[in-house]
Amino acid sequence: MTFRSLALSNIRGNWRSYSAFFLSSVFSVMIFYIYAAFLYHPDVESGFIMAASKIRKGMEFCEYIIVIFSFLFVLYSNSAFLKTRQQEFGLFSLFGMTRAQLRKLVLYENAAIAFLAVAVGIGLGTLFSKLFFMALGVLLKLEAPIPFALPLKAIGITAGGFFALFMIISMWTALRIGRTEIVDLLKAARKPKGQLVFSRWLVFVAALCLVAAYGMAFFMNSNTFVVFSLPILITVVVGTYFLFTQLSILVLTFIQKKSAVYYKRTNMIVFAQLGYKIRDNARILFIVSILSAVVMTALGTVYILQIGSKQSLLENSPFTLAYSENGLNTHEVIDQAELKRIVTEDGFKITKEAKAVSMVISRYAIQWDDEEYREFDSDAVIISATDYNKLAEMTGQPSILPEYGKLTLALQSYGEIYHHHGYVKGDINGHNKEFEISSVIDAKVMNSMQNNYYTFVMDDFSYMKLVSGIPEDQWNVMYGFELSNWEKSAPTAEKLKNLVPEELQPQIDFRRGSDLVDMNETVSLTLFIGMFISLLFFIASGSMLYFKLYTELQEDQAQFKALSRIGMTKNEMRKIVVTQVGIVFFVPVVVGILHALFAMKALDNMMNSSNWIYSFVVIGIYIAMQTIYFLVACSSYMKTMLRGATA
């Protein structure tokens, strides 16, 4: 028997243990190749597909993530798998195999796995790249689909890069072989587990770090993001690590002292074995928890941005079409009759029509409390309470009642904190005026245009006194039109924009439809690209757990074989296996969900919104996927384990 045939025989014999690692590697290669096939597509490199520039940088960033993640994943998998084969290596050494020959055997095995993973990954990537190109073509709104191509550069980089990655790690792990004595290798599987111990100080550190991280995330907002983000990351990582290495042992020790729970049916076997499983697999459970949190937070963030961006757009632009002009009924910006004709001709209906008269206050300055006056280069407007409340009713904002002779400032705060008392002074029709500001409200009832970012509301009686001496041609009139099915109004808005003189363009806001198109395109592309990376993380994290199950298979088979001899039934063994595997699979998921929920809370604080329902949608999808993975892994593991335990 040659080394090559022995290596292939070992792979076939350990295929169940290799399968999860192999499939995860194949998926990594496939995703990397698909992205590379797009990046090095002839039409993309030549600039023929202009829209590709929108996502090129994002895909390049994803390629780096895949390589780094694959390096760590392969490194961990190789190291863990070699530990489980110590007894096998001891037998080889006993029969005369030298250290150099052992290393050579491992290199042959890993070379075979690497070659298969790269070949299958590129093959599947080639198969699915056309579907990927078709989906990208739709998202980029390309007139012609992206043609199928097999870029040799993409194939070369993928094959060469991943094969080199596998072999570098294989050589590093192979160098670690043979440093242990033969007798220690042969006794590796029979070494006593030792006693479960924990440090009270490290348990305290774990609890303190997690409480501190969750507390900072709960109160973090856009103003404190720079201060809190790094401490949160550090405390979460430290706290999660000690959660599995120390705090989990404390919890299991506490359960063991509860006789009513511990000695009930098969619980003693479940918890006795579970303590060692968690201790031995603490690092992998820690990694899976962090990966789960990253996947759910990333997908949740993109999903929330996709959902919340439309709501934010509606808040920022209450009307589909809005403009302001100087003078009552001057139609200097656009002819309303022509606007309505084009809107109707394009198949839209005007569901709301607003008109509000305001006074422009130019060269204004604001003083808050005892501060100095702050001057502004732009203009602001003063509007009557009646007109404001009409706009507020149309846009779903609360009505207000300003104090007599004083102003209320209506301003979209974006989470910023403003004073509630001050003064404003400026020119109104050539006369300098000063008014007291009695309150500030977070509201926006009209689209942002040239002069209405600051909108002051005045009681009707005082407003009539203010405008009584100002001619109508000096009034500022704001118009707003809400369209049915406005999401498709971008082409119509562009037609109307072309009718407005160039010098009056700052007085219009017809952007809502086109902004939504751009926003959806960006978010959809981000979600589309990120989905593959998140799926890669999810499959890899599940594969790590699956891989660890099979590395302990022989030990579990021996234990259950002994239990079957003293009368334990298959159903009882099945219950123990499902409970133990379920805890190992879902505890890191629960920890990841907790991390993700507090991350979502921080995101809500920064966005000044509440998106819990969307967070739970993403978490629900993740739990469903993890449950499917668990059922498949548990079924496969149980069949193999019971077959060996009852043989």
Answer whether residue 458 shows pLDDT above 90: yes
For 585, counting Cβ atoms within 10 Å of its Cβ (0-12 exposed, 13-18 middle, 19+ buried), the class is: buried
Q: How far apart are the first and last CA of the chain?
A: 29
Confidence category of residue 225, pLDDT binned at 50, 70, 90: confident
Section 463-477 average pLDDT? 85
Question: Which is higher by pLDDT, 435 or 262?
Answer: 435
DSSP code, position 284: H
The answer to whether 488 and 347 have CB atoms below 8 angstroms apart is no
Confidence category of residue 441, pLDDT binned at 50, 70, 90: confident
pLDDT at 194: 53
Answer whether residue 189 shows pLDDT above 60: no
Query: Residue 448, SS3?
Result: coil
Adjacent-strand bridge partners of 458 = 384, 407
Answer whether residue 14 shows pLDDT above 60: yes
Confidence category of residue 384, pLDDT binned at 50, 70, 90: very high
Answer whether residue 481 shows pLDDT above 80: yes
Q: Average pLDDT, whole number, for the chain?
A: 78
Q: How big is the CA angle at 326 (ends 324 and 327), to the nearest 5 degrees?
A: 120
pLDDT at 388: 92
pLDDT at 386: 92
What's the rounded Cα separation, in Å, for the pair 175 and 167?
12
Q: Return the C-alpha torsion angle 26, 28, 33, 35, nearest 10.
A: 150
Which residues touch 308 (CB under 8 Å, ≥6 apart)?
607, 609, 611, 614
DSSP code, position 89: H
What's the rounded Cα separation, in Å, for the pair 127 and 378?
57
Q: What is the CA radius of gyration of the chain?
A: 33
Q: How big is the CA angle at 118 (ends 112 and 121), to the nearest 5 degrees?
A: 130
Q: Following DSSP, what letter does each residue of 220-258 receive, concatenated?
A: --TTTHHHHHHHHHHHHHHHHHHIIIIIHHHHHHHHHH-
pLDDT at 523: 72
Answer whether residue 631 shows pLDDT above 90: no
pLDDT at 628: 84
Adjacent-strand bridge partners of 479 = 323, 355
Answer whether residue 646 shows pLDDT above 70: no
CA 382 to each of CA 56, 207, 359, 379, 407: distance values in angstroms, whole numbers, following the listed order: 47, 54, 5, 10, 8
Q: Which of 443, 483, 456, 442 is nearest to 322 (CA)?
A: 483
Q: Which tokens is 57 given?
A: 């940088």
* Secondary element (H or E) of residue 381: strand 380-384
Model confidence pLDDT, tens digit, residues 552-580: 666 666 777 776 776 667 777 777 777 77
pLDDT at 385: 92
Model confidence pLDDT, tens digit, residues 46-103: 766 655 666 677 677 777 777 777 777 777 766 666 666 666 666 666 667 777 777 7
Adjacent-strand bridge partners of 326 = 476
pLDDT at 83: 65
Confidence category of residue 113, pLDDT binned at 50, 70, 90: confident
Q: Which of 588, 556, 577, 555 is nearest to 631 (CA)?
A: 577
The answer to whether 421 and 368 have CB atoms below 8 angstroms apart is yes
Confidence category of residue 2, pLDDT binned at 50, 70, 90: low
Model confidence pLDDT, tens digit, residues 508-518: 888 888 888 87
Model confidence pLDDT, tens digit, residues 289-317: 887 888 788 777 777 776 767 777 888 88
What's the rounded Cα separation, in Å, for the pair 433 and 463?
13
What's the rounded Cα separation, in Å, for the pair 55 and 136?
10
pLDDT at 430: 80
Answer whether residue 187 shows pLDDT above 60: no
Q: Taking the alpha carbons of 461, 466, 472, 474 in that order, is the dihedral positive or negative? A: negative
Section 577-588 average pLDDT? 80
pLDDT at 97: 72
| Matching residue, tokens 């509630």 | 420
Which residues touch 518 (CB under 8 Å, ≥6 apart)?
none
What's the rounded Cα separation, in Å, for the pair 26 and 22?
6
